[in-house]
Chain A
Amino acid sequence: MDFLNAIVAFSNYVLVPGAAYGAQLALGALGVTLIYGILRFSNFAHGDTMAFGTAMTIIITNGLLALGITFGPLPTALLALPFGIAATCLLVLFTDKLVYKFYRKQKAAPVILVIVSMGVMFIMNGVVRFVIGVRDIRFTDGERFIISARTFKEMTGLKEGLAIKTTQGITVVVAIFVVVVLFWFLNKTRTGKSMRAFSDNEDLALLSGINPEKVVMVTWMIVAALATTAGVLYGLDKSFKAFTYFQLLLPIFASAIVGGLGNPLGAIAGGFVIAFSEVTITYAFKKVLVYLMPDSLEPTGLVQLLSTDYKFAVSFTILIIVLLFKPTGLFKGKSV
């Protein structure tokens, strides 16, 4: 019984939140990695693209709610998500036309594009603040829990409860759906194949008649969809605040690099590696250990390896270790 309690406590505080956070990071990292693979630069504006998509979705959600439209037990934001994606698509395509295209034509060095993306980051950040302000916004509605801790205890008779929030369930389901569609698209469709070809060898792809502008356009649209979805899921699970989204940039980049920049599969693996390490290392294991250890050995402290404020340090340390020992990431990414 104690053993079961320990497992449940561990799932409740580490596995479930870790899985949800991992799915959010994976979606974010997929966007970063696609941009890197096709356009060949690290997009620092990604966090703010996520924030923009989420802000748009929140506004449309409010509009839907004002019209009296809800999504039953599910958050209304899911209904608004396609519109948010469309708005973000327009924004990134517009940005590409206005800003990035010029440097692509010039064949500018990647680091110049990174600096340019910094400028775009400033502007998007300004736009988001302009549109929705700097406050903390919660936009979850519908049922709060799939299983609440109370129901779980009553069902199983265990002392520990396992709560799964609706948003956590939705996050994982939506993430799986998105990833399946993305991989189907990349592997089965003509456009997806040309994207992969372009990413592997630009010159050969151009020789075989692939239209680079079309590839770039499709990439931006996919990235907009991924970023908005990641942003909305994160916002549903926690809350929306423009600055938090900017800060997500670090774990997202860590995920993409740990997995291997430019490799979509790696981005997903990286997302979960980073998320689980962050949650595990900053979790106070006292509760779990109390069940597992004999009474005489019960821990007196919290048994927390690092305080939660250092979660950035965790993603960063993993990033450094991977960079030092396996510079191309866990899955083979691009090294240069």
Chain B
Amino acid sequence: MTISLRNVLLVVGVAALYILEGSTTFWIFSGSWDSALKMLNFALIGAIMSLGVNLQWGFAGLFNIGIMGFVALGGLATVLVAMPTTPGAWSAGGWQIMAGLAMGAVTIVGAVKMYAYLPKGRLRNLMTFALIAVGFFAFRAVFDGGVAGVEAIDPAATGYLGGLNWGGENYKDFGWLTVVAWPIGGVLAAGAAWIIGKTALGLRSDYLAIATLGIAEIIIAVMKNEDWLSRGVKNVNGLPRPVPYEIDLQNDLGFVERAASWGLDPTAASTLYTKMGYAILFTVFLVALLWLAQRALNSPWGRMMRAIRDNEVAAEAMGKNVTARHLQIFILGSAICGIAGAMMTTLDSQLTPTAYQPLRFTFLIWVMVIVGGSGNNFGAVLGGFLIWWLWVMVEPLGLWIAEVTTAGFEVDHWFRIRMEDAAAHFRLFTMGLVLLLVLRFSPRGLMPEK
């Protein structure tokens, strides 16, 4: 990237938005460093997601609107790695569930192979269908028994398999496992992306969009309903943390003294300290991924990707395997979204399947990429920070607008009440407006591709 004055100003401007949030109570800013850091943490995660989507859309022109699903899979990975194994769950039915799943997988692979190898005709269709039907009922028979066994174990507290954390009662001492879970979240998302890519890539762009939209809904449905896996709508709470707990810091005399020397009371200092910890961890990951993405973009591989994006037919004529390259970058981009999803669940310390909403986890990320500048990694990251700031601040902004427009009215005037109610719904409207304005007047985004 060439360092132009415009880009420097943009970065400084966005940074200023966050600093203002922390330092002043003027206008819509809250003047709380705590809220600014919280916003920054989510923005860092948003920037990573935006980086992943930029890889798919900006480099390769793939239209993926199932980001939410990959993010959720990343979150699931955190639970599967960092939560303690539920005692007795594996013997009560865990192995049986795995056997059932293995049977399901064997059935699908068998059906695909059978369809590929048998000669064309009615016999082939019938036999494939029969294999799937038999396989499905066998799968249900084995699987359902295992599920019942696992879900019966203390459903109010566990009722699921749990994770790989071997700490038992003291599982929270192994907080570093959550960081291990981040790349694993990426692997899980990559696996899902491989399955989707294998079936839906090579079809036209709208179909990939619908396919990814559908798979994201299915992933969320699985997480909401398969209690043995993710406790479903009961949520998994109390995930271990890679940073110290506030209460431990407040009980630590050395920390309290140091806080006092900064002129902070222990409570405020401890929340800032943990949030800073997260921010540093996230920044390390963001910088590493950004560096990798930049290297990829400027490598022969990156040039090939852009060549494919700009003219598939020409690239194919040059001997490039377009579908294979698309699959590759689709998997990479989705893996990055999975990593970000695992980070987000770690930051929340809980997995809440009902919280995954497509508007927030798919379409918002698209706004980030497009506003920032598709095809430019730095643009995507900048867009992540800017749009997340807007997403959070739109609510105070809406309240401010409501206040200004209704200044002349009585407190209980219907117009005033209406406007104050509406402030909460301002968010989606503003996001749409920003997206349309950028697409219309600056379609290449704030930091355009070179």
Contact B440 A102 (CB under 8 A): yes
Partner of A254, one of B210, B218, B221: B210
User: Contacting chain A: which of B27-35, B172-180, B421-429?
Assistant: B421-429
Interface SS majority for chain A? helix
| A110 on interface, CB distance cutoff 8 Å | yes
Contact B439 A119 (CB under 8 A): yes
With a CB–CB cut-off of 8 A, which chain A residues contact B432?
A: 119-126
| B211 on interface, CB distance cutoff 8 Å | yes
Count of B interface residues, CB-CB < 8 Å: 44
| A307 on interface, CB distance cutoff 8 Å | yes
Within 8 A of B (CB), among A294-320: 305, 307, 309-310, 312-313, 315-316, 319-320
Contact A118 B214 (CB under 8 A): no
Contact B205 A249 (CB under 8 A): no
| B287 on interface, CB distance cutoff 8 Å | no
| B213 on interface, CB distance cutoff 8 Å | yes
Q: How far is the CA of A83 from the CA of B245 in the complex (A)?
A: 58
With a CB–CB cut-off of 8 A, which chain A residues contact B428?
A: 122-123, 125-126, 129
Q: How far is the CA of A327 from the CA of B366 in the complex (A)?
A: 27
Contact A249 B218 (CB under 8 A): no
A313 and B425 in contact, given A99-B436, A250-B210 (Cβ under 8 angstroms)? no
With a CB–CB cut-off of 8 A, which chain A residues contact B358?
A: 246
| B348 on interface, CB distance cutoff 8 Å | no
Tier of interface size on chain A:
35 or more
Q: How far is the CA of A132 from the CA of B209 in the complex (A)?
A: 30
With a CB–CB cut-off of 8 A, which chain B residues contact A250?
A: 210, 213-214, 217
Q: How far is the CB of A230 from chain B (nearest CB, A)?
A: 18
Within 8 A of B (CB), among A245-261: 246-247, 249-250, 253-254, 257, 261
Interface centre among A112, A246, A309 (most CB of B within 10 A): A309
Within 8 A of A (CB), among B165-207: 199-200, 203-207
| A217 on interface, CB distance cutoff 8 Å | no
Contact B207 A316 (CB under 8 A): no
With a CB–CB cut-off of 8 A, which chain B residues contact A69?
A: none
Within 8 A of B (CB), among A76-130: 99, 102, 110-112, 114-116, 118-127, 129-130
Contact B205 A319 (CB under 8 A): no
With a CB–CB cut-off of 8 A, which chain B residues contact A122?
A: 359, 363, 367, 428-429, 431-433, 435
Q: How far is the CB of A103 from chain B (nearest CB, A)?
A: 8
| A323 on interface, CB distance cutoff 8 Å | yes
| A207 on interface, CB distance cutoff 8 Å | no
Contacts A/B (CB < 8 Å), 19 sampled: A110-B205, A115-B439, A116-B439, A118-B65, A119-B435, A119-B436, A121-B432, A122-B367, A122-B435, A125-B432, A126-B430, A130-B422, A247-B217, A250-B210, A310-B221, A319-B211, A323-B200, A323-B203, A327-B203
Given A122-B429, A122-B432, A123-B428: 14 more A-B contacts, CB < 8 Å: A114-B209, A115-B370, A119-B433, A119-B439, A121-B363, A121-B432, A122-B428, A125-B359, A125-B428, A246-B358, A250-B213, A316-B218, A320-B199, A323-B211
Rank and list the top 7 A-B pairs by shortest CB-CB distance, nearest first. Answer: A122-B432, A126-B429, A123-B432, A316-B214, A119-B435, A129-B425, A126-B428
